[in-house]
Amino acid sequence: MLGAIERARQVMPLVAALRVLGLSVGRYYDWVERQQRCTLDDHPPKPKVGSRALSPNEARHIDASIIKLLDGTKAYIHAVMDNYSQRILAWTIAETHSPMNTCYVLEHAAKSLRNLETKVYMDSGVENLNRNVDELLASGTIERVIAQVDVSFSNSMIESWWRSLKHRWLFINHLDNVDILRKLIEFYVNEHNTSMPHGAFDGQTPDETYFDRRRSCSRRACSETSSGAASTYRREPQSGVLQLPEKQRCC
């Protein structure tokens, strides 16, 4: 329509051209403004890139998520992710919302530090800001960094992993109870760490990036080897699984 108006303006004034086409002046300028807005939005600014570590264990992310089960109960999941490799270092599931859940995963993930200091990005929820976590961080090995408070960016790296876990795996299964949910999460975490290639790491898995294990064969040769050994492959349990004490579980 704007093209027709421009052609009519070559032989008559704008108001006359709009009258011939049956349009009002206000409608014309609305179209012009909308066209200018669309032109400006063709190249939006690039999204901000958050913190990126240069080596494993330099920075980590911790977050919690809630899953509603078919039996009417809720499950509280906590996980710790390495920033450099996006490997899930530890996770736990509980039937109660306790501050000790954060301490369990932080202590388990800290076993791989080897006396090195690391930053842990977390949100300002009550599960992260409490006396138990403060006592754990008092040793000085772990530095707490509150997302969008101490730094300008959010805890989006592990939050995107939660979305993948839920929408690509959990929500397509029947979540009858906590035991079934625990098995599903254990399977997905193991697949994420050991089998899923990551585009940011040139096809390497989080485990290969974290432990600096480079593939010595081509992708096609590796896939053929993996398919040939599928019948003899036996999955090992995920070492990062933590079982809470009985006192932390609901009756």
CATH of segment(s) 59-246: 3.30.420.10
Give whole-number Cα distances, 184 to 177, 198, 238, 244, in Å.
11, 21, 12, 17
- b/e code 109-138 from CB counts within 10 Å (16+ = b): bbeeeeeeebbbbbbeeebbeeeebeebee
Tokens of 210: 């974290």
Give the pLDDT of residue 215: 56
Give the pLDDT of residue 26: 75
Residue 234's Cβ-count burial label (10 Å; 0-12, 13-18, 19+) is exposed
pLDDT along the chain (251 residues), means of 10: 67 72 74 67 62 90 95 94 95 91 91 78 91 87 90 90 95 94 96 92 93 59 43 41 47 36
- pTM comes to 0.68
Q: What is the DSSP string of 164-220?
A: HHHHHTGGGS---SHHHHHHHHHHHHHHHHHT---GGGTT--HHHHHTT----S-HH
| Residue recorded with tokens 């754990």 | 136
In the chain, what are the domain boundaries? 2-40, 59-246
